[in-house]
């Protein structure tokens, strides 16, 4: 455990001494704020419209979870698809480029400790990004009545989805010494996981069901609704374990060669 924490600390320090971390963090919060206030303005406009029309049914159909929180979290997933490859691209690729990878591989650290240390380091940074966006539901709590359980389930889904993205990013970074190549491959895989269910409606029952199961948005969408199903949690954990296993194999192969 101590070795994992040592690698984790090194990863977090290397992230925060790099301008990339501050640019990514600032960009993520700016975009999150932009989405939030636009959604809030749209919600306020809908309330004013139904109030002016004296439409009680319309007013009762409006709620902050469906009109602000859910679309905000979905929009943040798109930003994560873009941002996380930038965060993880340097995890192994930079070490290879700078020549410190050989030192890491010849150290007494086990490969599992190296992989988990880098995972926890990158995931801690992403968790900080996500936690900072909790200010938006906090604002709604001050002036409205969003359902806390639904908000918590949505944020749990966002964290699990981010963990999948980070795991895939570590895998692609372990396969090359070029950070740009690692980021592009990671972006393509994440985008594929994001859009893979698009043709599901026209693909027929067996294939359509498979495409929906493989899609991160299908599972994330259920959690945003407040539904925490073990099938969705198992899906996210399976992708994380698979990506980490392949990363472990890639690093182990490098150590033995």
Residue 183 pLDDT greater than 90, yes or no = yes
| Cα angle for residues 244, 249, 252 (degrees, 5° grid) | 120
Of 18-32, 88-102, 181-195, the poorest mean pLDDT is in 88-102
pLDDT, residue 230, reads: 92
Could you give the C-alpha distances from 12 to 66, 104, 115, 142, 166, in angstroms and in order?
35, 17, 14, 33, 14
Residue 139 pLDDT greater than 80, yes or no = yes
- Report yes or no: 111 and 248 within 8 Å, Cβ to Cβ: yes
pLDDT, residue 190, reads: 94
Q: Which residues of 8-17 are buried (b: 16+ CB within 10 A; e: fewer)?
A: beebbeebee
- Report yes or no: 191 and 172 within 8 Å, Cβ to Cβ: no
Q: How confident is the model at residue 254 (pLDDT cuts 50, 70, 90)?
A: confident
Q: How confident is the model at residue 170 (pLDDT cuts 50, 70, 90)?
A: very high
pLDDT, residue 186, reads: 94
pLDDT, residue 199, reads: 81
More confident residue, 104 or 156: 156
pLDDT digits (tens, 9 = 90+) for 186-243: 999 999 998 888 887 787 778 888 888 899 999 999 899 888 889 999 999 999 999 9
Task: Give the count of beta carbons closer than 10 Å to the beta carbon of residue 71.
Answer: 17
Nearest alpha carbon to residue 244 among 185, 153, 183, 164: 164
Q: How confident is the model at residue 121 (pLDDT cuts 50, 70, 90)?
A: very high
Structure tokens that stand for 82 in this block: 């873009």
Spatial distance between the Cα atoms of 157 and 99, rounded to a whole number of angstroms: 37
Average pLDDT over residues 103-127: 88
Average predicted confidence (pLDDT) for the chain: 89
pLDDT, residue 4, reads: 84
Q: Scanning the structure block, which residue is given the tokens 């374990």? A: 241
Give pTM, 2 decimals.
0.91
DSSP string, 18-62: SHHHHHHHHHHHHHHHHHHHHHHHHHHHHHHHHHHTT-HHHHHH-
Q: How confident is the model at residue 83 (pLDDT cuts 50, 70, 90)?
A: very high
pLDDT digits (tens, 9 = 90+) for 43-70: 889 888 888 888 888 787 888 888 899 9
pLDDT, residue 31, reads: 95
Contacts (Cβ under 8 Å, ≥6 apart) of 145: 64
């Amino acid at each position: 455990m101590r070795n994992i924490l040592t690698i984790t600390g090194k990863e977090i320090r290397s992230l925060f001494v790099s301008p990339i971390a501050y640019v990514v963090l600032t960009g993520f919060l700016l975009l999150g704020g932009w989405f939030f206030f636009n959604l809030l303005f749209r919600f306020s406009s809908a309330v004013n419209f139904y109030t002016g029309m004296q439409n009680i049914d319309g007013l009762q159909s409006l709620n902050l979870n469906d009109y602000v929180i859910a679309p905000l979290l979905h929009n943040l997933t798109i930003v994560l698809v873009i941002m996380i490859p930038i965060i993880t691209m340097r995890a192994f690729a930079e070490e290879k480029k700078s020549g410190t990878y050989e030192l890491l591989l010849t150290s007494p650290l086990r490969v599992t400790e190296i992989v988990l240390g880098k995972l926890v380091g990158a995931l801690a940074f992403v968790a900080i990004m996500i936690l900072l966006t909790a200010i938006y539901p906090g604002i709604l709590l001050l002036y409205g009545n969003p359902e806390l359980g639904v908000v918590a389930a949505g944020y749990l889904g966002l964290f699990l989805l981010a963990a999948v993205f980070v795991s895939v990013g570590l895998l692609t970074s372990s396969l090359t010494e070029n950070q740009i190549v690692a980021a592009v491959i990671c972006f393509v895989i994440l985008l594929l996981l994001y859009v893979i269910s698009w043709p599901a409606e026209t693909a027929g029952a067996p294939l359509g069901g498979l495409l929906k199961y493989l899609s991160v948005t299908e599972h994330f969408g259920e959690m945003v609704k407040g539904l925490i199903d073990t099938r969705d949690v198992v899906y996210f954990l399976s992708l994380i374990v698979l990506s980490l296993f392949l990363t472990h194999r890639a690093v182990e192969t490098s150590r033995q060669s």
